[in-house]
Amino acid sequence: MSEATLTPEDFRPAPATHAAQTLSRPSLSYWQDAWIRLKANRRALISLYIVMGLAAFTLLGPLVWDVDPAAQDVDQISKPPGADRSATVVEPYSAWDPSLQNGDGHGLRLAAPATNQTVRLVWDPDPHAAGYLIYRNIFPIGPENAFGLPLGETFSPNHTYFEDLLDLAPRRYYYTVVSLDAFGDRIGHETLEAEVKRVITADDAVVRGLADSPDALSVGDKVTLGLHPLGTDNLGRDMLARLMHGARVSLFIGICAPVIFMLFGVIYGSAAGFLAGNADQLLMRFADFVVALPFLLFMILFKILFDVGAGESGILPMLLAMVLLSWPGTARLVRGQILQIREEGYIGASRLLGAKTNYLILRHMIPNTLGVILVTLTFAVPSAIFTEAFLSFIGMGVVPPTPSWGSMCNEGIKTMLTTPHELIFPALFISITVLAFNLLGDGLRDALDARMRSMD
């Protein structure tokens, strides 16, 4: 054991160095830190890009793709994307005189080339027949003798012609003429294959802007019909234009309604939380009361209250009903946060230093709840979009011809099996939007959580 010898040297202050106080990294505010963490979250970042892309799609899209979403192209109804669009120019439609134009040859035959304007059938009279039934099929006739769609009938043995105008598409059809005897029994049938060509008249081409004047086109020329990148719906309306305009309604409701009701909820909740006691009890019981009100009923009541007449948009009552009935959730959340924060030590310290109520609320309480508020907002957006889609789906929202994603789904679902693109595109947009906002909200929650700050 040896005695340490202390010299006065040992009691001299150490030389002042600044090393301990030098920041190894640049100083980061709460928001910068959150942003860094958000950037590290790949899912959230992709979602953010998708949300930005949607905004561009909605706001800039119609400028690039300047097509009237209400315009109906009845020659291209329910066309999937990428359908063939070439058409041959023909003479305008003229009534058919079967005694003059009856095709050459015998048996069931075409009196004129089959086009999507008209298919003219002629056949030989059957001496035993009292009338004929005319069928059309898109599948070859098999041994079952299922002839397909019954197009029409004639009631005389010598009425041996039929003109098919019904929804002709450029494809192969199988026409069958069945002879009936006087009792209505089938006594024979004959089938004809016909390849229908898409045609257009010169005048029509001009109306559709495919040519400058009818003289510029002569019969037999090829033209290409208007482009519909995502196909058309059941009235021949452009899906892409409708999706863009539909996004306006969906995103308007999806963003406006949450922003307004969150704003109200924050004010209401922070007032309740800050006042505490009896005032808090009173305010929160009222919020409980509002929670119990049925949304759909109020939506209908507002529609009547605002005298929303026939065929007028129900968007405003929808917005109002959402704002008036959705705020209590936010209010509760914010109140809880405020109640917690007001008991924190730094609030007491701030109070001791003489901080005013306003300062306490604005400087300490609201910023500390902002993370929660922001996260709730991003979760409220998809739910509002979904509500709008649902209401338009059941016919309570937008009115025709205004599209919205929900109403487009409603129209598309009827033809889900035959023309699925009418349902898939709007449904895809709803799904992607809702998913993107949800993932973004998820990422924001992680990024804004102050307790996770030290974990990186």
Partner 1 sequence: MSSARTPDQTFDRFAGRQLLILALAGIAGITLLMVLLGWASSLTGASAGANVAVDPVTKTITLHMSTEPPQLNSSLATDMLSGMVLGHVMEGLLRYDQNSELAPGVAERWHIDGNGATFWLRKDALWSDGQPVTAHDFVFAWRLALDPENASQYAFILHPIKNAEAITRGELPVDALGVEASGDHTLRVELERPIAYFDKLVAFPTYYPIREDFYQQTNPRYGAESDTLLYNGAFMLTRWVHGAHLRLEKNPQYWNHEQIQINVLDFPYITTDPNAALNLFKDNKIAQTGLAAENLYEAMERRWQIQRFMDGSVFFVEFNFRDDRATKNLHLRKAIQLATDPAELVYKVTKLPGYLPGESIFPVWLKGVNGFFRQEYPAPAPTMDLDAAREHLAQAKRELGEIPALVLLTGDNPLSSLQSEYFQQVLRKNLGLDVRIDKQIFKQRLAKMTSGDFDMVMAGWGPDYDDPLTFGDLFASWNPNNRGMYANAELDANVEIAKTSLDPKTRMDAFGEIQRILIEDAAVLPNYERGSTFVVNPAMKGMVRRAVGLDPDYTYAYIDEP
Chain residues in the site for partner 1 (CB under 8 A)? 70-72, 74-75, 77, 136-139, 142, 144-151, 165-167, 234-235, 309-312, 395, 399-401, 411, 414-415, 417-418
Nearer to partner 1, 73 or 449 (CB): 73
Q: How far is the CB of 146 from partner 1 (least distance, A)?
A: 4
Cα 200 from Cα 44, distance rounded (Å): 50
Cβ distance to partner 1 smaller for residue 54 or 121: 121
CB of 230 to partner 1, least distance (A): 19
Closest CA to 102 of 163, 33, 27: 163
Q: Which run of H or of E encompasses 357?
A: helix 357-359
Taking CA atoms, 55 is separated from 72, 228, 240, 245, 405, in Å, by 26, 22, 15, 12, 15
Pairing assessment for the beta strands 172-180 and 161-164 based on DSSP bridges: unpaired
> Which tokens belong to 286?
């009222």
Please identify, using beta-carbon distances, which residue of 53 and 400 lies nearer to partner 1: 400
Q: How far is the CB of 403 from partner 1 (least distance, A)?
A: 11
Q: For the beta carbon of residue 213, count every other beta carbon within 10 angstroms.
A: 10
Peptide bond into 401 cis (omega under 30): yes
Q: Which is nearer to partner 1, 82 or 150 (CB)?
A: 150
Closest listed residue to residue 334, CA positions, set 282, 375, 369: 369
SS3 content of the chain, % helix, strand, coil (to 5): 50, 10, 35
Which residue number, 81 or 148, has a Cβ lying nearer to partner 1?
A: 148
Pick between residue 26 and residue 142 the one whose CB is nearest to partner 1.
142
For the bound state, the minimum distance from the C-beta of residue 236 to partner 1, rounded and expressed in Å, comes to 8
Closest approach of Cβ 41 to partner 1, in Å? Answer: 25
As given in the structure block, the two tokens for residue 395 are: 């016919």
Least separation in angstroms between residue 129's CB and partner 1 is 18
Three-class SS state of 157: coil
CA distance 99 to 102: 6
